[in-house]
């Protein structure tokens, strides 16, 4: 009796790189219909069945395929191996042909040839992809149901279960065969994973329409006659999806629709580990982050860019937010929490009398500048820059898009000020008091805006001198504490130095991951806000102030600033201990609670990339800086440094002549800027 051969097509609507691709129309028909119509022409197949998931998003796909007369089996979203076992059982399959929904150019004649070759070879598994020689998009796998069931019983690895056949191919438990073409055409790409792929394949169907019985040889002839029709996707890598994580796929997709890929330079994948960084999270708790594939990582990196001093998802802060959501976040009335928060911030900073709230650091900076200009009656602003770097929000974000390599940006003058702000913004370097005095002598400055500390602290009473200079000349002094606030004191780090500004801004850690920033200041300065229009609907939402009030309460009870400062110093000691052990020279920088280091080497950026690459494989998000949180316990630090030790050993080997680039699995990360954002 002839074995029953069932072709199982795996497809779903939730493709990461090209959503809903199987239902996108080519001409007048959905891509899945074209695929099934071509596959059903194979003479060796007894039944074609669709295997999809139970996710509600797949309903349109299921309806379409069932209307076409093909059976549908639904199973797990992620465990595709289980889906195949269910489908094969339901169809009483003896032999299974696996075809994926991204291969609409599947060739029925080639499928028949593969089945015949499978039976003639007497193997458990056969494919034409083990050693690729056919164009990508003509992928065919044939295997026995017995082998499929055995694989499902024996492997629980997520990769095996997601991709169905790796265990069949690599476990050594099965007889494996291969079908090859006499000419290597594996560089040709006829699959549909990305928009460029869809463009190419759609052109093929358009050319042959209304025929659907064209062979893969005819497509090959077409490509040789019109190579330009096939050029849009030739830069893409074969089977890239099998090695890319879900986050990497989504990052690639994001860059097609979001300038730069995301909303924050400091979170771009290229800043960490180009082509390998998971990029997106599904969950975060304490100092652990889970990617979209469920892999857990200990965050010894930038902890949400410094937003979570109390760790991700602090239970008390989250409970306060949940209570707010239940009670209502917006109303025609104002939320009382904004009054309570303003009072608390003023209480923590006795020099201040009033506060304004916003939701992001960029907003807080812009609001502070507008108020200060209104109060001083002058437009010109002196902004403290470090080694030529000027304030991010006031200057760079108003110019052209930044260059990730850290070079001069289009539209910038050599001093780093955008052309559209020339004559208004005047940068000066931290700890260079004489430069600031010369600036004020030459220009009618109304505002000085600066961070209290940069990567190194003040020297020669720099802050006190700036304060006195601003007082003597009637200039409004603003301290930017968006990053430094609440890390060494309960409030601004300026309290450590005994210097009181006229205004200060706080952000990042104020709401422990919820959007809230604040501007505080002296009454005579802050009341100038009434003379200029400063207003925004979502500055009145309730979640931010509620989160901030609870965050401040927990911080005060825990004395979190002391904990994270102590932990940061321990991290610094750990880095230095490893550097000494491996005879490496490093330079430390930053506040203890947002500490960082740099190798004294012309390969420093490559070494940073190597650390991120190697530590990621060990379950850590790591580079050369850490924003410390209260959940960075001694046990976590011990595990981190145990894992980091051999990486420093690798770096020492590179300093002794080993090629660091050969150790990297992708490009070197972008440098960005030494400043901790």
The CATH number linked to 43 is 3.90.550.10
CATH assignment at residue 297? 3.90.1150.10
CA distance 47 to 37: 12
> Helix, strand, or coil here: 52?
strand
Same domain, 154 and 220: yes
Flag whether 236 is in a domain. Answer: no
The residue written with tokens 């002794």 in the block is 656
Do the domain assignments include residue 169?
A: yes
Could you tell me if 209 and 95 lie in one domain?
yes
* 43 CB burial (10 A radius; 0-12, 13-18, 19+): exposed
What DSSP line would sit under 516-567, residue for residue? -EEEEE-HHHHGGGGGS----GGGG-SHHHHHHHHHHHHHHHHTHHHHHHHH
Q: Could you tell me if 456 and 580 lie in one domain?
A: no
Quick one: 137 and 189 in the same domain?
yes
Task: Assess if residue 151 is contained within a domain.
Answer: yes
Q: Would 673 be classed as within a structural domain?
A: no
Q: Are residues 571 and 652 in the same domain?
A: yes
**Residue matched to tokens 């469920």:** 294
445: CB partners within 8 A, 6+ apart: 378, 380, 381, 382, 426, 439, 473, 475
Number of domains making up the chain:
3
* Backbone phi and psi for residue 522, each to the nearest 5 degrees, phi listed first: -70, 150
Give me the pLDDT at residue 195, please.
87
Alpha-helical regions (H) of 596-677: 604-617, 634-655, 660-663
113 falls within a domain:
yes
- Please check whether residues 519 and 584 belong to one and the same domain: no
Cα distance between residue 382 and residue 432, in whole Å: 13
DSSP 422: T
Distance CA 328, CA 36 (A): 50
Q: Do 628 and 646 meet the contact criterion of CB atoms below 8 Å apart? A: no
- Give yes or no for a contact between 382 and 437, defined as CB atoms under 8 angstroms apart: no
Of 554, 573, 599, which marks where a domain is finished? 554
Give the pLDDT score at 506.
97
Q: Which pTM does this prediction carry?
A: 0.72
Within 143-238, where are the H helices?
145-154, 158-163, 166-170, 195-208, 216-225
- Confidence at residue 672, expressed as pLDDT on a 0 to 100 scale: 57
Give the chain's residues under pLDDT 70: 16-17, 237-243, 385-423, 672-677
Phi-psi region of 134 (alpha: psi -120 to 50; beta: other; left: phi over 0): beta
Q: Rounded CA gap, 452 and 361, in Å?
A: 16
Q: Is residue 271 situated within a structural domain?
A: no
Domain boundary among 230, 248, 265: 230
- E-only strand ranges, 224-316: 281-285, 288-291, 296-300
**Which residues form the domain of 376?**
315-554
């Amino acid at each position: 009796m002839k074995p029953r051969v069932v072709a199982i097509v795996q497809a779903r609507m939730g493709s990461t790189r090209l959503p809903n691709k199987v239902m996108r129309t080519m001409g007048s028909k959905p891509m899945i219909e074209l695929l099934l119509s071509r596959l059903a022409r194979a003479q060796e197949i007894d039944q074609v069945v669709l295997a999809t998931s139970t996710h509600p998003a797949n309903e349109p796909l299921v309806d379409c395929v069932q209307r076409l007369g093909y059976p549908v089996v639904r199973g797990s979203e992620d465990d595709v191996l289980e889906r195949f076992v269910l489908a094969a059982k339901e169809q009483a399959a003896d032999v299974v042909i696996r075809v994926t929904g991204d291969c609409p150019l599947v060739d029925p004649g080639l499928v028949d040839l593969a089945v015949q070759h499978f039976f003639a070879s007497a193997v458990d598994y056969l494919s034409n992809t083990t050693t690729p020689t056919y164009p990508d998009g003509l992928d065919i796998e044939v295997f026995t149901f017995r082998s499929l069931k055995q694989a499902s019983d024996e492997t629980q690895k997520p990769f095996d279960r997601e991709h169905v056949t790796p265990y069949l191919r690599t476990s050594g438990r099965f007889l494996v065969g291969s079908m090859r073409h006499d000419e290597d055409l594996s560089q040709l790409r006829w699959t549909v994973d990305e928009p460029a792929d869809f463009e190419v394949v759609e052109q093929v169907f358009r050319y042959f329409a209304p025929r659907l019985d064209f062979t893969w040889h005819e497509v090959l002839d077409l490509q040789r006659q019109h190579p330009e029709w096939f050029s849009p996707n030739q830069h893409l890598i074969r089977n890239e999806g099998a090695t890319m994580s879900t986050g990497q796929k989504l990052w690639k997709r994001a860059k097609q629709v979001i300038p730069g890929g995301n909303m924050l330079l400091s979170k771009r994948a290229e800043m960490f580990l180009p082509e390998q960084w998971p990029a997106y999270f599904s969950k975060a708790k304490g100092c652990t982050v889970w990617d979209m594939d469920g892999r857990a990582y200990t965050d010894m990196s930038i902890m949400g860019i410094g937003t979570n001093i109390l760790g991700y998802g602090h239970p008390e802060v989250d409970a306060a937010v949940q209570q707010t959501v239940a009670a209502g976040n917006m109303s025609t009335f104002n939320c009382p929490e904004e009054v309570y928060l303003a009072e608390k911030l003023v209480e923590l900073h006795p020099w201040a009398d009033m506060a304004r709230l916003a939701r992001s650091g960029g907003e807080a900076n812009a609001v502070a500048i507008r108020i200060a200009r209104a109060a001083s009656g002058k437009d010109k602003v002196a902004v403290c820059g470090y080694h030529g770097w000027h304030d991010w929000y006031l200057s760079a974000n108003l110019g052209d898009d930044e260059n990730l390599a850290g070079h001069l940006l289009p539209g910038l003058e050599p001093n780093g000020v955008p052309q559209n702000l020339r004559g208004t913004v005047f940068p000066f370097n931290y700890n260079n008091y004489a430069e600031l005095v010369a600036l004020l002598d030459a220009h009618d400055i109304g505002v000085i805006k600066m961070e209290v500390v940069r990567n190194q602290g003040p020297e020669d009473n720099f802050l006190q001198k700036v304060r006195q200079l601003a007082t003597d000349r009637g200039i409004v002094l603003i301290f930017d504490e968006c990053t430094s606030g609440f890390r060494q004191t309960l409030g601004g780090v300026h309290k450590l130095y005994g210097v009181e500004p006229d205004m200060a801004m706080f952000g990042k850690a104020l709401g422990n991951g919820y959007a809230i920033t604040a501007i505080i200041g002296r009454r005579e300065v802050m009341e100038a806000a009434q003379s200029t229009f400063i207003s925004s609907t979502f500055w009145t939402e309730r979640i931010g102030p509620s989160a901030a009030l609870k965050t401040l309460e927990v911080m005060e009870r825990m004395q979190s600033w002391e904990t994270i400062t102590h932990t940061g110093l321990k991290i610094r000691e750990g880095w230095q201990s490893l550097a000494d052990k491996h005879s490496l020279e490093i330079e430390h920088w930053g506040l203890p609670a947002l500490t960082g280091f740099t190798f004294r080497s012309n390969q420093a950026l490559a070494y940073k990339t190597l650390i991120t690459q190697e530590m990621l494989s060990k379950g850590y998000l790591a580079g050369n800086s850490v924003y410390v949180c209260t959940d960075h316990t001694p046990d976590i630090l011990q595990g981190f440094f145990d894992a980091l030790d051999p990486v420093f050993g690798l770096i020492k080997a590179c300093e002794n002549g080993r090629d660091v680039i050969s150790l990297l699995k992708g490009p070197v990360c972008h440098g960005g800027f030494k400043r901790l954002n």
